[in-house]
Structure 1
Amino acid sequence: MNSNYEIVRSMASMMLQKKREEAQGQLQREAITQQVDLVLSMGTWDGVDRESLIRELETMLVQTVGIARTLEDSTGHVPWLAEARAGIEWRYWSRYKQMLQQKGWSPASVESLERLTNETLARLGNPKRDGEWDRRGMVVGHVQSGKTANYTGLICKAVDAGYKLIVVLAGLTNSLRSQTQVRLDEGFLGYNSDPTQEHDGATPPIGVGLIDRSLRPDTNTHRLEKGDFKKANADHFNIHPGNNALLFVVKKNGSVLKNLLAVLRRKANNELNGRPYVTNVPLLVIDDEADHGSVNTKEVPLDDQGVPQKDYDPTITNQRIRELLHLFQQSSYVGYTATPFANIFIHDSAPHERYGDDLFPRSFITNLKAPSNYYGPREIFGIDDRDADIDGAEGLPITREVDDHADSLDFDEREGWMPPRHTRHHEPSYNGRDEVPPSLRKAILSFILTRAVRLARGQVGQHNSMLVHVTRFVDVQHIVCRQVEAALASVTNRLKYGDGDATPRITDELFGLWTSDYETTMSAIDDESCDLVTWEEVEPFLLQSAASIQVREFNGSARDVIDYETHRETGLNVIAIGGDKLARGLTLEGLSVSYFLRSSKMYDTLMQMGRWFGYRPGYIDLCRLYTTPDLIEWFGHIAVANDELRREFDHMANVGGTPKDYGLKVRSHPQLLVTSQVKMRHGTRLDISFAGKVSETTVFHRDEDKLQANMAATVSLIRKLKESGIPIERNPVRDRLHGRGHKWTGAAAWKDVPADILCEYLNGFLPHPRSINTRLIAEFIERQNSRGCLTSWTLAMLSGDGRAFDGFPFGEISMVQRKWHGRIPEDQQENHDSFVIRRVGSARDEALDLNSAEYQRAFQMAYDARLLDEEIPEEDKRPKTSQMRTEMRKARPKSRGLLLIYPIDPKGRSREGENGAPIIGMAACFPEDPNAIEVSFEVNNVYWSQEYETSD
């Protein structure tokens, strides 16, 4: 980078940080522009691009970071950090903080990290406290959001405070372990751990070591392929109280952990009940991707009272992590993950006589807020306004549907280039040819264009990556790699030597993609950090872009990670082809184009596969995700589910909930089977309560017979209501409040409907297997009836803006219109068993039968809850619709439920023409009831493995 540019940036940044403090963290673009112009007026600064500098400073200084929320159980914990802080010399943290500032971290991000690491450290055990203590916690971040930087900061502060032994459990692969070691070399150790780089007894300083070389903690692992812990290293370290801090970065591998445990036992300085025991050496275990590999997936046997037995056989990795913690008198464990669902399903009271407690985060769970420049599921896929439990969000126009990878989009399809079902012997071919399908070739052209635009913008020396994740089989990945290399070479050669007889010209193809996609998308996103450029500016960089791209397989080798490090100065431009090794933790730097076909439908699996989430400064408008309609549909669901769980978490934090409370809350969720069934051993029989929730149909059959059966059941229900003498109310109106009310024009409502009529309807309804379980809902209602609850129901059929329909026994109604997700080509619809909407109901509809007093109570509770949110400006404290939905269920009497029926316009989905009957959707709304009787839900493991996991 131009030295003048760095000088001007540094000067302007210092001046702006002072202004930012004066403005209490709020800076506008005008202030940044003024300071940049002031600095530029002080001299002649050749090579400084004013606009680029303003955008960079704006990204650094205007970024905001939300406040983290924590659920905590302080049992046995003695608060210590507030009193001890002044006496701690924060040398490790200070140099790490300075390194982050030099890397261009925004002040908001550094401040947020400092605040969070202080809060997390305070919840760990006091390393100076005598006696026995054991803390277990978890920090929940976001995929590709900087968790490594987060726990590196915690390690620095923990060592400053007195922790002596740090063990980082760094995933299941050599590549991820090596990548983590590289990051900790830079941020904590301060030197290159590669032993081949040693000169005069030491390896060269890097990262924080260039800031303060006097700090040099020890490590017994290094960054190379074979740098994991080995028994041969047993004599090369000590773990006694007075020694230097010691770091191990190890895989979650049974053999590695066995070797580490064997050596640590030999070095123990005490015994307890005949077993080795380490005293006065505080241990901190950081478990990266804590939901993966660490969770005990074997069943814990229960006694007759349902209490876990104390002698059972956990999985090897889980067992050895617990043994490690159990070996030390003083230990703290912190799991980091973006998908905590499996960890929450850990049994919170399953101690083992030999291995100690399981890894349930009993002490604390901290929920991190994503900074304003992070792009996650909600930003990329959007949330419809109808997802009314949470605030709506418009998705970015960067997803591109793929439908040519297989002969059909059916989950069981086995024919085509890369069908969902295939084995390791599959040989990909498109129309009988050994080549990639057109959609993947288009993705490759997109990557070439993206790289060329970045060059035109002056983003030289930056890493650029493309992800191709289509199979988990290494043998099949080899063939894909060869085909991608051939496709890239063809484009590169034509750009370099001409097209010959090939038509259309390659530059014409790229220009067509530019005009049909890039021009419109860049204008639509209009991010201030992204320069708008013209084709004339981009075209000269096409050959340079294509020629610089390497095609690489990422199958777990540490070599792949180190390539990024060795190309730090010039940037690495790579198409990364892999499977499971790319799906967890591994960071693809500068990832811009993704071609993704995996079909798992577990929330945590899909979230972790989403390598495209993260930070994209200066090139978010160039990012593209090529994937199937089904995956776009499911990521949309994930965006909603993830926000709902985080919202519930924040609510529990506000009312003083504990990790155990949250675990129970998630376990009882009636629709979110959010992790693989094997990780939900204690959820195989799910005890579910629908109290305080809404259960609604979002997945619908394509089968005409089932759709017609649900229509017939609904007609039969309405006839029964008429025969029972229950009056119908057309155009229902909610009782007025403060002179205002709401009229449901065209709708029909029936009040005081007996529960038995409703349950008969629910038991006869045929929901899609991936939708709600109406029979389970009916069972829940019947159980509540035994307590005198849910005995009376309001039933309403909503009207919308769609076509008129007069097939119900009360007259004409207009169908409701919903946005269908996951476009299925017409010639493939008959092979696809479902279609999906994100949300059928709305918050407004839940107010249909509330009277003024009930609505006023809900409004006041929502307002009070909003006052607790420190992040909301005072002038914006009025409750939003999304907050009202939860509070209306609390205000609803326990005796009364609400069933909303939606006659959905099927046009363009299951029936052709203008005369199709509506598709019946429903939403069952339940009042809050802490004493509700749960119902048991036996989940068939074979069904889930077949429906939701890719098999071979």
Structure 2
Amino acid sequence: MVTSIKILNTLKPPLRWVPEKKEITEDFLRSKSKDPNGPSYEDLTDGVNSVLQEAQRILGRCLPPQDPVGRETGLVVGYVQSGKTMSFETVISLARDNGYGLVIVLAGTKNNLRDQSEDRLKKDLGIDEGDNWYHYSNPTANSKTQIEDKIVAWKKKPTKKAILITVLKHGSHLDTLATLVKKLSVSDVPALIIDDESDQASLNTMAAKIRSGKAAPSEMSTTYEKICALRDVLPHHSYLQYTATPQANLLLAQTDLLNASFAELVTPGDAYTGGKSFFGKNTALVKEIPAEEVPGPSNTLTASPKSLLSALRYFLLACAQHALTRERKKDRNRSMMIHPAMATTSHTHYMGWLDKSLKTLKSFVEKQYKTRPNDVARRFQKEYDSLKKTYPKIKPLSELIAAMVDEVFGELNHVVVNGTKDAEKKIDWKATPYWILVGGAKLDRGYTVEGLCVTYMPRPLGTSPAADTLQQRARFFGYKRAYLGLCRVFVQKNVSEAFTEYVEHEEFVREALESSRGKPLTDWRRDFILTSMLKATRANVVGLGTRRIPANGWMVPDVLQRDDDAAKANRMLLLSVKEKWTAQYGSPINAAEFPQFKGARDSSPHFVLESIPLKAVLEDFLLEVKVKDPLDAEEHSAMLIAITSLLRKNPDLKADVFLMNNLVAGYRTRDEGRGVDAKHRFAPINQYFSQSEAAVNDRSFCSGERVSLQLRRFNLGTMQRDSGSADIKDITWFALHVPSKLRKDLLIEART
């Protein structure tokens, strides 16, 4: 504990206070370490990124319990299915140990999610044992006297049981709770609010209209208004927004009442498998659902899609492997999820196909596996061979088929999970080890499918889908390292591509948050890598202005320098980089020596520094050049992010640098643009590229394979074809070209 406190005391920026691990947190962590499927005690408590130390960091950024009235808002970001619940349970335990008397958990927008959260909290925090907590679920006015008595008792002796409230994130329940809390004696009771899946429902859906002036600044959507009302009746509280998809939270207006002031991260354990595991190098784990096998208005299917039958065979083999090797009290489940469109009619269709296919396959295997074993083996051979490549220690196929007959078929349940009357309301995972779930929204965000092994998700990508919505469908992420090779994900091709692109976006956001960890979030510009296939989040909650900028083709500043000091600094920078790069990488070569640049002349006025490390171009020039115009600065930010991203994937990338006119200053006129008179000293440049009629003109001087940087000088004036009118001499200008094969799409926070 002394070592832990010492580490926490050295964090920069420093914590507000250092929560101590006492008896309740110790008991909680010891209990979790005894879970057959849980991490060890050392994994939970040792190291900077352990569950305990990250929870101490999170709570340590919140209001200290001994402080006077106040409020704090923090954002906590994890991966999908990575341990966010474990994190906030640890935070709750620390809060209880360190003098918080009231904890409120906003536990999802659907009853099945609230039930799932409540069941886990009761089990993990020992609520039913009655030693540390009084628990109230969706309390009403009828609970006032009980809760008030408990608060009075807690005030007399804060080491007694504290109050834990779980509430459905729904306007009416939140309103009831706020009305109740207002009548309680909570003025000197430190409180903690945990908003699970905080990017869903909590945020103000009027934000975009407020930003555009179509709604008054005071306009609020219902759930948002009720959360704000609940916070208003808690004089001393901290509000923690937990999510795996923080795009919406990060794009709130700075004045938004739920805008976080700090961010912390949840680091997954070594056994975690997320986007990088499925959509990085392990492409064998992802299988394509052909478009013709997805039912739709113009594509009627009369029988089970072949890809669905293949997914079923993969799942049965994985279950058989599990049956032959499992420890009865550990890793007890294997499951398959069929996740079609949201409409429940589609669930009925898939359930019908599944039911028929399963019966047919079961009958065939049970009747033939002894008398015609080769015929049965052939039915599974393709899937078995695929699994053998990704999970080499899989049992022989003959043993797996026998295990299907002896155990798997008899213990397999397949059910619909949705909002219809006859659907399964609550899965009893202990009842049987093998499950196939068919459903839509109820199997989406926040829902944990135990032992999920095979996912069949024919849902289309849709038009302009939100990145956060797509990622929340990834129920197949989680702690699966031990059996990752047995997992398969079936999706349409464009969905797989979108997930692949999302992984880069997600890692970029996490790295940015890591570098800003604990610092005021207002200091961090919201600039993201985001594929053009996706939008960041639903538009109605976005309170910040943003621009989408593709780093593809030419990116040319329009105004660039807005003052004489910047112009002077850039002039000196240009001279220094030419000297440095020439010394390190050789003298520039006349561009005419390259066939593609020769054009109509035997020589060229332009010279090339070929194959310079892109990292040097970034560090020596792009990061140093002064870009003072706000709109140019936005594009420059996009440029820097794009180049950094390319180097992250391939640090050895090269670039070509073109010294236009061998850096002899040409003449350009200033233009009226961006609302600036052409006579203004720093008006936009009239044009960058020359309009030469030759076959090769200035725009042509770039590489089709590598990033290209053009450097040049201009004398700027106001008169066409009159270089004598130039009143700004030796202005440095540049342009960057990104070939289409290296394209990056950026979402940039608009500068005001």
1-structure distance, mates of 2:52, 2:653: 51
Shift of 1:268: 2.9
Deviation at residue 436 of structure 1 after TM alignment? 2.0
2:719 matched residue in structure 1: none
Q: How far apart are the structure 2 equivalents of 1:473 and 1:674?
A: 24
CA distance in 2, matches of 1:257, 1:645: 31
Counterparts of 1:623 and 1:735 in 2: how far apart (Å)? 40
Counterpart of 1:732 in 2: which secondary structure? strand
Distance, in Å, in 1 between the alignment partners of 2:746 and 2:387 is: 44
Asked if structure 2 preserves the Cα contact closer than 8 Å seen for 1:143 and 1:376, the reply is yes
1:581 equivalent to 2:454? Answer no
SS in 1 for 2:450: coil
SS, match of residue 352 in structure 2: helix
Aligned-partner Cα distance in 2 for 1:96–1:607: 30
Is 1:184 the equivalent of 2:121? yes
2:26 to 94, 102, 109: 94
The 5 A counterparts of 1:278-297 are 278-297=186-205
Distance of aligned partners of 1:894 and 1:512 in 2 relative to their CA distance in 1, 3 Å threshold: farther
- State the distance in 1 between where 2:12 and 2:689 align: 37
Q: 2:269 aligns with which of 371, 376, 381?
A: 371
Report if the CA contact (8 A) 1:755-1:791 is conserved: no
Q: 2:177 aligns with which of 238, 241, 260?
A: 260
Alignment of 1:439-518 (within 5 A): 439-460=307-328, 462-498=332-368, 505-515=375-385, 517-518=386-387
Q: Equivalent residue of 1:289, what SS?
A: coil
Q: How does 1:176-575 map to 2 (within 5 A)?
A: 176-191=113-128, 205=129, 215-221=131-137, 228-238=138-148, 240-243=151-154, 244-265=161-182, 267-269=183-185, 278-299=186-207, 312-350=218-256, 358-362=257-261, 364-382=262-280, 394-406=281-293, 414-416=297-299, 429-430=300-301, 433=302, 435-460=303-328, 462-498=332-368, 505-515=375-385, 517-523=386-392, 531-543=393-405, 544-555=407-418, 562-564=426-428, 566-567=430-431, 571-575=432-436
Q: Could you say if the C-alpha distance between residues 376 and 407 of structure 1 is closer, same or farther in structure 2, counting changes exceeding 3 Å? A: closer
Q: Distance in 1 between matches of 2:360 and 2:65?
A: 61
Q: Which runs of 5+ in 2 are unaligned?
A: 155-160, 555-595, 621-650, 713-729
| Equivalent residue number for residue 899 of structure 1 | 736
How far, CA to CA, are the matches of 2:414 and 2:495 in structure 1? 25
Contact 1:900 1:924 in 2 (8 A): no
Task: Output one character per residue of 1:856-879: Cα deviation in whole Å (capped at 9) or x when no partner.
Answer: xxxxxxxxxxxxxxxxxxxxxxxx
In structure 2, the CA distance between the partners of 1:308 and 1:546, relative to structure 1 (3 Å rule), is same
Alignment of 1:767-806 (within 5 A): none
Deviations, residues 758-794 of structure 1 (Å, cap 9, x unaligned)? x99xxxxxxxxxxxxxxxxx989999x9858999989
**Structure 1 Cα separation of the partners of residues 470 and 666 of structure 2:** 39
Q: Please give the alpha-carbon distance, in whole angstroms, between the structure 2 residues aligned to 1:232 and 1:499.
A: 62
CA distance in 1, matches of 2:440, 2:11: 34
Q: Read off the aligned partner of 2:342 and give its amino acid letter.
A: R
SS at match of 2:66: coil
Offset, 1:755: 12
Shift of 1:756: 12
Cα 1:696/1:287, change in 2 over 3 Å:
same
Are 2:203 and 2:541, in contact at CA under 8 Å, matched by a contact in 1? Answer: yes
Amino acid of the structure 2 residue aligned with 1:182: D
Q: Percent identity?
A: 20
Instruction: Tell me the residue number matched to 1:31.
Output: none
Aligned to 1:200: none
Structure 1 pair 95–400 and aligned structure 2 pair: CA distance change class (3 A) = same
**Distance between the aligned counterparts of 1:479 and 1:737, measured in 2?**
54
> Relative to 1, partners in 2 of residues 1:894 and 1:184: Cα closer, same or farther, differing over 3 Å?
farther
Q: Which amino acid aligns with 2:246?
A: P
1:593 maps to 2:449: no
Counterpart in the other structure of 1:61: none
Q: Give 1:118's match in structure 2, choosing from 56, 63, 77.
A: 56
- Cα distance in 2 for partners of 1:468, 1:70 equals 45
Task: Rate the CA distance shift 1:455–1:290 in 2: closer, same or farther, 3 A.
Answer: same
Q: How far off is 1:468 after superposition?
A: 0.7
Task: Name structure 1 gaps, 5 residues minimum.
Answer: 1-20, 26-65, 192-204, 206-212, 222-227, 270-277, 351-357, 383-393, 417-428, 524-530, 699-717, 761-777, 796-806, 818-840, 851-892, 905-920, 927-931, 937-952
Within 5 Å, which residues of 2 pair with 1:715-734?
727-729=605-607, 732-734=610-612
Secondary structure of the residue that 1:509 maps to in structure 2? Answer: helix
Shift of 1:460: 4.6
Distance 1:735 1:592, change over 3 A: closer
* CA–CA distance in structure 1, aligned partners of residues 209 and 701 of structure 2: 55
Task: Report if aligned partners of 2:528, 2:746 keep a CA contact under 8 Å in 1.
Answer: no
Cα displacement (A) at 1:241: 4.4
What is the SS of the residue equivalent to 1:493? helix
Secondary structure, aligned partner of 1:618: helix
C-alpha distance after superposition, 1:361-406 (max 9, x if no partner): 12x2112333332111122111xxxxxxxxxxx3352000111555
Inter-CA distance 440–317: structure 2 relative to 1 (3 Å threshold): same
What is the deviation of 1:576? 1.0
| Distance in 2 between residues matched to 1:495 and 1:240, nearest whole Å | 63
Q: CA RMSD in A?
A: 5.0
Say whether the 8 Å CA contact 2:291–2:492 is kept in structure 1: no
1:154 is aligned to: 91
Tell me the equivalent position of 1:643: 507
8 Å contact 2:74–2:263 — kept in the other structure? yes
User: What is the CA distance between 1:97 and its match in structure 2?
Assistant: 0.8
Residue identity matched to 2:434? N
Query: Is 1:686 the counterpart of 2:546 in the alignment?
Result: yes
1:745 CA drift (Å): 10
Could you tell me how far 1:521 is from its partner in structure 2?
Answer: 2.4
**CA-CA distance at 1:321 after TM superposition:** 0.8
Counterparts in 2 of 1:546 and 1:539: CA distance versus 1, 3 Å: same
Contact 1:454 1:619 in 2 (8 A): no
- Indicate how the Cα distance of structure 1 residues 617 and 124 shifts in structure 2: closer, same or farther if over 3 A, else same: same
Q: Matched residue of 2:401: which SS?
A: helix
Specify the SS of the correspondent of 1:240: helix
Structure 1 pair 308–476 and aligned structure 2 pair: CA distance change class (3 A):
closer
Q: Please state how far the C-alpha of 1:282 moved relative to its aligned partner.
A: 1.8
What secondary structure is seen at the aligned counterpart in 2 of 1:246? strand
The residue number in structure 1 matching 2:157 is none
* Partner secondary structure for residue 90 of structure 2: helix
What is the TM-score of this pair, normalised by structure 2? 0.72
- The Cα of 1:180 is off from its aligned counterpart by 0.3
Alpha-carbon deviation of 1:186? 1.0
Change (3 A) 1:722 1:695: farther
Q: Partner letter of residue 195 of structure 2?
A: D
CA gap of 1:291–1:780, structure 2 versus 1, over 3 A, is farther
The one-letter amino acid of 1:124's match is: C
**SS of the residue aligned with 2:238?**
strand
Contact 1:790 1:894 in 2 (8 A): no
Compared with structure 1, are the counterparts of its residues 737 and 520 closer, same or farther at alpha carbon in structure 2 (3 Å cutoff)?
A: closer
Counterpart of 2:660 in structure 1 is 751
Q: 1:625 is paired with a residue of what secondary structure?
A: strand
Deviations along 1:802-843, whole A, 9 cap, x unmatched? Answer: xxxxx9789x999968xxxxxxxxxxxxxxxxxxxxxxx6xx
The answer as to whether partners of 1:469 and 1:578 remain within 8 angstroms in 2 is: yes
What's the offset of the Cα at 1:848?
8.9
Q: How many residues align?
A: 628
Task: Say whether the 8 Å CA contact 2:508–2:528 is kept in structure 1.
Answer: no
Normalised by the length of structure 1, the TM-score is 0.58
